[in-house]
Chains A and B, each alone.
Chain A
Amino acid sequence: MHIMEGFLPSPWWEIWFLLSIPFIVIGLYQINRLVKENRETLPLLAVAGAFVFVLSSLKLPSVTGSCSHPTGTGLGAILFGPFIASVLGLIVLIYQALFLAHGGLTTLGANVFSMGIAGPIVAYLIYKAGTRAGINTYVTVFFAAALADLFTYVVTSVQLALAFPGEAGFFTAFQAFAAIFAVTQVPLAVIEGAVIALVFKYIVQLKPEILTKLNLLPEATIRKLQEAAA
């Protein structure tokens, strides 16, 4: 859910920029360190960023018939951690605003916070927790991506309700925004979870060295997953 240009009044757009900056700074610091260790990282991060952009510019087959887009940032967070995912999210959101007219420049801070920070953190935490608990990897990836999507839209509703609480106050406004967006966002989250889980399956089956290189899954787990599919 992108908040459009012009929608957030002062001081809210500034506040969301300020809240997003620390995450971006940590992410840039981490990328700098990775690139110093291994120069190959930068092009591979870029590939992930471009993938997220293109995935989110494709219209998903949607139940409601409205135009809905996957966010794709869940995958970035699982692969590279939430801070680097937030830098990728920032760049992707700038391109979405400039190339596709989704989102905007003053609302960039708010959109980065919901899509590039809040969503990826949820995806990352669920993925870590699920792997530690020994739950099936694909199930974990499904929940990580789907709940990241849901949380993103909850945060967007919070942002809108804070800026426009109306007479009834923040909670009523939040419920109203959340209810109206749920129509498109809840089915979308389920679809996104399924799609990202499928992407993960293809990676495991065809190019598992990506996952071992990023220390995401030990080789034993990958072999087990490959055998289960065969």
Chain B
Amino acid sequence: MTMHRLLEDFAQENALRDVNPGVKILLGLASILLCISSPGPVTPLFIAVSLSAATVGLARIPPRFYARLLLVPASFAVMSIAVILFLTGGGAVLVSIPLPIFTLTVTTGGANLAFLLVARVLGGMCSLFFISLTTPMTDIFTIMQRLRFPTVFIDLAMLIYRFIFVVIDEAGQIYRSQRMRLGYGTFSESIRSFGMLAGALFLRTWESGEHLVRAMDARCYDGRFGLPDEAPPVSPTWALGVVLYLGLVAGISWTTATITLC
């Protein structure tokens, strides 16, 4: 059990911090939509490569960290894409693996769909990484406010955001002290220790919530938070760049729609 370093930590210090957050979110979301609506694997792969280049090159995210990030969805991807590979039929049989009870077959239809999904997931995840590594959450709150999300939703999200960092610190401390006292030696011990960690964590964070209530009351909290709206202006270069990029991707999507793996 190791603590992940949150993507948010990198977003706070990335080199594209001063670009208007609306433009960055638009680029990321539009790329995701182009990925999942693309009928062929070329477009998502192009998006994966170009947005990864932007994240590492322009936003200056450490390449090693970025490479490890790409492995996060791997376990889910391998399991679910394996099912699709064997279940989807159509076309000629490529591989046939006889098992005691049934035979697993891979057809061209299955291989094409599985490869398309790998490409879409890769493109989609890279677009998502672009948003989360270049746009700090505080900027996203400002956008939410401008889009008229319900106030109570934004307030709750902001409070949860604040508490996440408090709770992570607490969890790390408790975990390290348990570990030092050999709390995770055997399987049954680790269940007990983990339950103890979760219980202590819940009570401690609940108490810090009560402290916050008192602190906010003392400062005349009236049920809503103010948010400074000081997003950097949209630069013409970025606006033009994003429009051209999305146009290029749409063009690629249209011309390569029929290209498949096999």
- B221 lies within 8 A of A104 (CB): no
Contacts of B93 in A (CB 8 A): none
Of chain A, the residue at the smallest CB distance from B184 is A61
| C-alpha spacing A59/B203, complex, angstroms | 20
| Closest chain B CB from A79 CB (angstroms) | 10
Task: Answer whether A47 and B125 are a contact pair too, CB < 8 Å, given A9-B36, A10-B36, A98-B7.
Answer: no
Of chain B, the residue at the smallest CB distance from A168 is B87
Task: Answer whether A98 and B8 are a contact pair too, CB < 8 Å, given A47-B208, A61-B191, A167-B88.
Answer: yes
| Closest chain B CB from A228 CB (angstroms) | 17
| Closest chain B CB from A53 CB (angstroms) | 5
Cβ of A219 within 8 Å of any chain B Cβ, yes or no, is no
CB<8 Å pairs between A and B, sample of 15: A6-B121, A7-B117, A28-B153, A47-B163, A50-B164, A54-B168, A57-B168, A99-B7, A101-B72, A104-B124, A105-B29, A164-B87, A180-B80, A194-B191, A203-B203
- A199 lies within 8 A of B198 (CB): yes
Contacts of B4 in A (CB 8 A): 57, 100
Cβ of B167 within 8 Å of any chain A Cβ, yes or no, is yes
- B206 lies within 8 A of A47 (CB): yes
Looking at B50-58, B154-162, B228-236, B251-259, the stretch in contact with chain A turns out to be B154-162
Contacts of A135 in B (CB 8 A): none
Mask: chain B, 12-25; 1 = CB below 8 Å from A; 0 = not? 00000000000000
B96-119: which residues lie under 8 A (CB-CB) from chain A?
Answer: 110, 113, 117
Cβ of B246 within 8 Å of any chain A Cβ, yes or no, is no
| C-alpha spacing A140/B13, complex, angstroms | 46
Cβ of A222 within 8 Å of any chain B Cβ, yes or no, is no
| Closest chain B CB from A25 CB (angstroms) | 9
- B87 lies within 8 A of A176 (CB): yes
Which single member of B83, B128, B208, B223 contacts A97 (CB below 8 Å)?
Answer: B128
Give residues in B with beta carbon < 8 Å to A: 1-2, 4, 6-8, 29, 32-33, 35-37, 44, 69, 72-73, 75-77, 79-80, 82-84, 86-90, 110, 113, 117, 120-125, 127-129, 131-132, 137, 140, 150, 152-153, 155-157, 159-164, 166-168, 171, 175, 184, 187, 190-192, 194-196, 198-203, 205-206, 208-210, 212-213, 216-217, 221, 223
- B120 lies within 8 A of A6 (CB): yes
- A59 lies within 8 A of B7 (CB): no
Instruction: Sort A-B residue pairs by CB-CB distance and give the 5 closest, nearest first.
Output: A6-B124, A198-B195, A202-B199, A166-B87, A46-B159
Other A-B contacts than A44-B209, A180-B79, 20 sampled, CB-CB below 8 A, are A5-B73, A6-B36, A6-B121, A28-B150, A43-B213, A44-B206, A49-B159, A49-B163, A50-B162, A50-B163, A58-B1, A59-B1, A60-B194, A63-B187, A95-B137, A97-B128, A166-B87, A181-B79, A194-B195, A202-B200
- A202 lies within 8 A of B202 (CB): yes
| C-alpha spacing A201/B8, complex, angstroms | 34
| C-alpha spacing A160/B80, complex, angstroms | 8
- A101 lies within 8 A of B125 (CB): yes
- A6 lies within 8 A of B125 (CB): yes
- A53 lies within 8 A of B132 (CB): no
| C-alpha spacing A46/B163, complex, angstroms | 7
A182-230: which residues lie under 8 A (CB-CB) from chain B?
Answer: 191, 194-199, 201-203, 206-207, 210
- A206 lies within 8 A of B203 (CB): yes
A8-61: which residues lie under 8 A (CB-CB) from chain B?
Answer: 8-10, 13, 28, 31-32, 35-36, 39-40, 42-47, 49-51, 53-55, 57-61
Contacts of A195 in B (CB 8 A): 191, 194-195, 198
Task: Answer whether A4 and B121 are a contact pair too, CB < 8 Å, given A50-B167, A202-B200.
Answer: yes
